[in-house]
Amino acid sequence: MTNRESFVTHEVENQPSPVPADNAWTSDRALREGVEREGGAWAADHLARNSMGSPGPGGVVQ
């Protein structure tokens, strides 16, 4: 038995599906309005360029 195997206790099955790669800034109007309402409009350009997660295998955000 390897050291890693000695820590395996059970298989976890109640986890949500991975989040697909998506640009939350451009697809979520409520997010954009909330950021503006709370004084974050200064960051809109940055958020538009950087709101996508880092897609991993199968386009899943890591």
Dump pLDDT digits (tens) for 4-13.
Answer: 777 888 888 8
Asked whether residue 3 carries a pLDDT value surpassing 50, the answer given is yes
DSSP annotation of 50: H
| Paired tokens of 26 | 């451009």
Q: Taking the model in full, what pTM does it have?
A: 0.53
The 3-state DSSP composition of the chain as helix, strand, coil percent (nearest 5) reads 45, 10, 45
Asked whether residue 26 carries a pLDDT value surpassing 70, the answer given is yes
| Paired tokens of 13 | 């099955």
> What are 48-57's pLDDT values in tens digits?
888 765 554 5
